[in-house]
Amino acid sequence: MLVGLFEDLERSLSDGLAVNGGEMKLGTVVLLLALVTVPACGGGGGGSDSGIGGSPSPLSASFVAEQSTPGANTVSMRQASTSNDVVSVYVTLTDTTGVFGTAFEVVFDGAGAAYLGFTHGAAFEAGGNVPTYAVDGSTSPGRIVVVVVRTNGTATDIVGRKAVLSLQFRVKQAGTYPLTLENRVVYDNQQPDPQPIPGILWSAGAVKGVGV
């Protein structure tokens, strides 16, 4: 179960998560990782078929959000940028206090879209924090496992709508291909083990390809 992601996080957090002179247990990471189960895990941010070339016919890619104006305590998606048949999609968090980490899976139709990679977001990097990003889009086709955890045991207050990270997709053929968020949780930084923040809403959307 996500052995590679756990090992990456354990190495990153091996100095301990100091909070008010104490130490937050690495069981925190286990809690996060236990929520996203795939048969095995290799970790890293590589795409699921990044070695395959572009679409066979010219396409214009875009993203259609389920919710364009999310309210407080909402994880949602929005279009970041596009270039021909490639679209980048933000996963965002809106107006949420005391956030320490998140874990979720993005499920998509591999016949219509390919995951290419990810880039860091600003949401968990407030105050100069350097979070651990563990993203696996290659182990299980059509499924991206995401874990993002702040270091040093500190939480952050999300004010407004901030990006946790962005995911890049290439549309393979014309059509609309839904993205869904599964095994999803946002955690606070309670000691000794962070707890799920109640009342979090989740909203995704779909990548779309149109012939040009």
**CA 100, CA 94: separation in Å to the nearest integer?**
14
One digit per residue, pLDDT tens: the chain, 212 residues?
A: 344 444 445 554 444 343 333 333 444 455 555 444 433 333 345 565 544 555 567 999 999 999 999 999 999 999 999 999 999 999 999 999 999 999 999 999 999 999 999 999 999 999 999 999 999 999 999 999 999 999 988 999 999 999 999 999 999 999 999 999 999 999 999 988 899 999 999 999 999 999 98
Can you give the CATH number for the domain in which 140 is found? 2.60.40.680
Q: Looking at residue 42, what is its pLDDT?
A: 33
Q: Looking at residue 55, what is its pLDDT?
A: 58
Contact 10, 26 (CB under 8 A): yes
Q: Looking at residue 53, what is its pLDDT?
A: 56
Q: Looking at residue 3, what is its pLDDT?
A: 42
Q: Looking at residue 164, what is its pLDDT?
A: 98
Q: Looking at residue 27, what is its pLDDT?
A: 45
Residue 43 sits in which domain range?
A: 3-211
Closest to 147 (Cα-Cα) out of 71, 65, 35: 35
133 to 43, 78, 164: CA distances (angstroms): 10, 20, 10
Q: Looking at residue 145, what is its pLDDT?
A: 97
How many domains does one find in the chain?
Answer: 1
Q: Is 51 left (phi over 0), alpha (psi -120 to 50) or beta?
A: alpha
Q: Looking at residue 54, what is its pLDDT?
A: 59
| pTM given for the model | 0.79
118: which 2 tokens?
Answer: 């990810």
